[in-house]
Amino acid sequence: MSGQDPVEIFRQEAQELFEEIEQGLLDLAHRPGDRDLVDAVFRGLHTLKGSGAMFGFDALAAFTHHCETAFDRVRKGEVAATSELVGAVLACQDHMRALAEGGAASEATGEMLLAELHRVVESAGQASSAEVAAAEPDLNTWRVRFSLPADALVNGTRPLPLLDELRELGDCQVTAVTDNIPDFDILVASECHLAWDVTLVTKHGRDAIEDVFIFVIDDMTLDIQAVGEASVEAAVVEKAVVEAAPSAAAPIAAPAKDEAPAAGEGRKAGGDTVRVPAERLDEMMDRVGELVIAQSRLKQLAASSSDIALRAVAEEIERLASEMRDTMMVVRMVPIAQLFGRFRRLIHDLARDTGKTIELSTEGEATELDKTVIERLADPLIHLIRNSADHGLETPEQRLAAGKSATGNIVLAARQSGAEVVITITDDGRGVDRARVRAKAEENGLIQPGQVLSDSDLLQLIFAPGFSTAAAITNLSGRGVGMDVVKRTIEGLRGSIELSSTPGEGSVVSLRIPLTLAIIDGLLVRVGTGRYVIPLSAVEECVELSVEQDMRSTGRSLITLRDQLVPFIRLRSLFATGLAPDPHQKVVVVAVGQERVGLVVDQILGDHQTVIKPLSSFHADVGTFSGATILGDGGVALILDIAHLVAAGQRSDAQLRAAS
Amino acid sequence: MLLAGVEHNLITFVGDLTVSNIVQAHEELGAALRQDGPVVVDIDGVAEIDLTFVQLLESARRKAAETGRDLTLRHPADGAVLEVLRRGGFLDNENSQRAQFWLQGAAQ
């Protein structure tokens, strides 16, 4: 495999930095006094500048330098992190992204943004200096001891500027501690064996001292004590690198940096993680898929063989393939926080553009989903959130008039439910106006004038192709913009979408998405001579359908399960096998949400690890099947689209009920 | 070229002495220390140093002191070297052996 392009590596790193910086800025808009956030943003900008310069992105480095300088002033308490400042840096960040991507970023735009930043910093600076003047703090004496890891100098860490920065904080006495320098004969001359003992008299607090070490704090030993302060109260940062090379100059006390800044966490964790291009994971998943198919063939061969050793190996391979599959799944899983994080900026911009006050809250950010699914969910979610903010939520005046708080709320939540993840987008806006939906649908010819529809069917019209395009000009109907595309994308992920809405109270869009797209556990069944796979996650139970029951239910297809009537579909009829049913047919009861449907099959063959191969684009509109898989004997089985079949079963049952 | 020449245990360093070539400087200083007699280090021609050089000479100085060898600078540190020593806190106590070694009693 060839190495990655360094420029591409930088762009990937920059992408992560942009996200960190953006999250920090957006949090800062809510918590302007949070020093950890200021530090995180400053660190991000500083790293971006350094990496940019290193990879030859000189324009980016130069531009970022200005933002870094602005944030340095925030860090030093000279400038307040006002929302105006945050907005200006966010705008600058967009320009930095363009510079990092190497696109046509206009120099004039850059200059304009910097001029605005300069103006904002100056006005924020005046406000801040007034605050500082009002509360001039007393002088404190601090004893600071620190040592750097052995590889610090090789890695480019320069202790002298750190000492200079300490001197800038106040009256400073610096003593180099050379006791740990090894004997000349065994000295590794490029390693750092020095430590420092510093006495500092300053009006600044502990935070300001820690700030000096902001870029090296994770890998060093730092002990800051107020003179007279007990050592147990000392702030000591002790990391693994230093544990390997203890320094006498740095006594160890209780770690006091447990609550590291959120944005900093990710950077630190980077030491234990490996960045892998997504396509390599996909290749690996393909290989695992092939392994699973080969294992399936081996299992079949072993079953027909009397060779005990072969059977034992087949069982071992089956276990390993299964574990490999599970591991692969986990490798591809990423927390949905990655996705949710992007929407905070969207909301920030939407609030600015619409003049609304919008609060976005998220739940279940730790929920994990396959990385491919996450990537493909981004666009539909942007549509849905934009619709909620733009069209669902009222203006502050309208909200107040309706007796609501002026701030509109959007809740983005994720939770795992079996082999699915349920994502909901909830707003407390005006809700869907049914009358206008109906009017628009009639106008577009989607329904006949006066046609009777259930409430859920009426809401489903929003997802119909053709509903939205012309409706974009009106406020309410804007909810339909792109909803058909959203629905198609979600269904393309083998997921489903539902909308519920209460007039005046808001709407909830629920997406049910499978955890992964690549391999599922399936129930292999036979219908006639064909074999099919039912996703095991949807299977509730299997019951026998006797010939008598089958005969009794020829008209209305219903079976009774624990006093509940469940409609069923005869797959034999649906697939027109033309063969007589087996005498002991089985009903596989499957469910999607609250809806249940029985699928009548001739035989249940057993469970099957199913590597999903998508159907060709020619078959994209075949609703009954969601894909195909290769069986152990080389044959092909179609995978049933459960959501489609359940909807069909429920629909026919509703029609029969209406007719009877 | 770090080593301009060794004459009667005079070792002369010139140019930059930083982490990138400190291993070579270590070897050359080691070679000088392995010879008999006092060792004199000439750093007059040094343009730039970093802390690895200070650390190296500190280690050499202590080794010499422990083994009864005589290791001295040809001239007191000045210029860029003095600046690094000052910023790094190596001259905090003018009476210490460390400061005496670097300054040879000269004023900071």
Supply the DSSP string of A273-284, one letter for each residue.
Answer: -----HHHHHHH
* pLDDT computed for residue A297 by the predictor: 84
Q: Which long-range contacts (CB under 8 A, 24 or more apart) does A610-614 make?
A: A610/A519, A610/A520, A610/A521, A610/A522, A610/A533, A610/A535, A610/A639, A611/A289, A611/A290, A611/A292, A611/A293, A611/A518, A611/A519, A612/A517, A612/A518, A612/A519, A612/A520, A612/A639
pLDDT in tens, A484-539: 888 888 877 878 888 999 999 999 999 988 776 667 788 999 999 999 999 887 88
- Chain A hits for B89, CB-CB cut-off 8 Å, are 163, 174-176, 196-198
Asked if pLDDT for residue A251 goes beyond 50, the answer is no
Asked if pLDDT for residue A250 goes beyond 60, the answer is no
User: How much is the mean pLDDT over chain A?
Assistant: 80
Kindly report the number of other CB atoms within 10 A of residue A466's CB atom.
13
- With cut-offs at 50, 70 and 90, classify the pLDDT of residue A262: very low
Structure tokens at A167: 């001197």
Closest residue, chain B, to A180 (C-alpha): B59
* B contact test, residue of A145, A166, A183, A187 with most B CBs within 10 A: A187
Q: Do A189 and B93 touch (CB under 8 A)?
A: no
Q: Distance between CA atoms of A326 and B24, rounded to whole angstroms? A: 52
User: Mind telling me how many Å the CA of B90 is from chain A's nearest CA?
Assistant: 5
User: Mind telling me how many Å the CA of A247 is from chain B's nearest CA?
Assistant: 15
Strand partners, A175: A197
| Single-letter amino acid, residue A284 | M
* pLDDT computed for residue A317 by the predictor: 93
User: Mind telling me how many Å the CA of B25 is from chain A's nearest CA?
Assistant: 9
- Chain B hits for A185, CB-CB cut-off 8 Å, are 30, 63
- The answer to whether the CB of A178 falls within 8 A of the CB of B55 is yes
- Chain B hits for A186, CB-CB cut-off 8 Å, are none
Interface residues of A toward B, Cβ cutoff 8 Å, are 153-154, 158-160, 163-164, 173-176, 178, 181-185, 187, 189-190, 192-194, 196-198
Cα dihedral: B11, B16, B20, B21 (round 10):
-20
> What number of C-beta contacts closer than 8 Å exist between A and B?
73
Residue A621, Cβ density class (10 Å: 0-12 exposed, 13-18 middle, ≥19 buried): exposed
Residue in A154, A181, A187 closest to B26 by CB: A187
- With cut-offs at 50, 70 and 90, classify the pLDDT of residue A584: confident
Q: Do A184 and B63 touch (CB under 8 A)?
A: yes
Q: Which of residues 41-70 of B touch A (CB under 8 A)?
A: 50-52, 54-56, 58-60, 62-63
- Chain B hits for A196, CB-CB cut-off 8 Å, are 88-89
Q: Do A183 and B59 touch (CB under 8 A)?
A: yes
Find where tokens 């809806």 sit.
Answer: A595
Q: Do A189 and B87 touch (CB under 8 A)?
A: no
- Chain B hits for A150, CB-CB cut-off 8 Å, are none
Q: Do B23 and A190 touch (CB under 8 A)?
A: yes
Asked if pLDDT for residue A470 goes beyond 70, the answer is no
- The answer to whether the CB of A392 falls within 8 A of the CB of A481 is no
Considering the entire predicted model, what is its pTM?
0.53
Q: Do B88 and A193 touch (CB under 8 A)?
A: no
Report residue A599: phi and psi, to 5°: -115, 120
| DSSP at A393 | S
Region A41-55 average pLDDT? 85
* pLDDT computed for residue A351 by the predictor: 86
Q: Is the ipTM of this complex over 0.85?
A: yes
